[in-house]
Amino acid sequence: MTTAIYPGSFDPITNGHLDILKSGSEIFDKVIIAVSHNIEKKGFIPVEKRVELIKESVKDLKNVEVDTFEGLTVDYAKRCGTHILLRGLRTASDFEYELQLSQTNNYLSKDIKTVFLMTKPEYNFISSSMVKEILKNKGNIKQFVPKPVYQYLITNCDI
């Protein structure tokens, strides 16, 4: 049984994240989407709410679990009994950052392996920060996020 951890902030989860997750769930027996929780950083959406929204957004994916973690991703992966991390790639700048991150994780834990999946062209420009920026400027974010996230953002986040 192969389990992969898909770690990130997911603040909020977007359709780009979901696409990577769906592909990952076809490759691995189980994927745990793990929301990183930094007590010093409040984030845009409270972590508990992010988890709730992700759970609603992935309810049709039977082999996907949602969790939160603090501290190093490699330690969290160990606690879950796996050495596989899943990450998504969009642009060349993502590649540089992700390469550094994956090498750091590999330095911290020599068994850890990061599997990268490429985004589809239609999700290439979608990021959580872009969604927040559009929302802030009263633009339409409907096409970029799952339905439960859209509902939450337009009713609760008048930023």
Question: Residue numbers of the site for ligand ADP (CB under 6 A)?
Answer: 8-10, 14, 16-17, 20, 87-88, 90, 94, 119, 123, 126-128
Active site residue 128: yes
| Under 8 Å between Cβ of 138 and 105 | no
The active-site residue out of 83, 87, 90, 132 is 90
| Under 8 Å between Cβ of 25 and 65 | no
The active-site residue out of 9, 25, 57, 128 is 128
Residue 34, phi-psi category: left (phi > 0), alpha (psi -120 to 50), beta (remainder): beta
| Under 8 Å between Cβ of 98 and 105 | no
| Under 8 Å between Cβ of 64 and 21 | yes
Tokens of 158: 């008048």
Tokens of 36: 């990183």
Quick one: 1 or 143, whose CB is closer to ligand ADP? 143
Quick one: 7 or 83, whose CB is closer to ligand ADP? 7
Active site residue 79: no
Quick one: 126 or 141, whose CB is closer to ligand ADP? 126
Q: Measured at CB, which residue is nearest to ligand ADP?
A: 16
Active site residue 83: no
* Residues linked to residue 5 through DSSP beta bridges, in sequence order: 32, 85
Quick one: 20 or 80, whose CB is closer to ligand ADP? 20
Kindly provide the residue ranges of all beta strands, DSSP E only, lying in the chain, ordered along the sequence.
Answer: 3-8, 30-36, 64-69, 84-89, 113-118
The active-site residue out of 41, 59, 136, 147 is 41
Instruction: Output the smallest distance, CB 129 to ligand ADP, in A.
Output: 8
Instruction: Output the smallest distance, CB 115 to ligand ADP, in A.
Output: 11
Instruction: Output the smallest distance, CB 22 to ligand ADP, in A.
Output: 11
Active site residue 41: yes
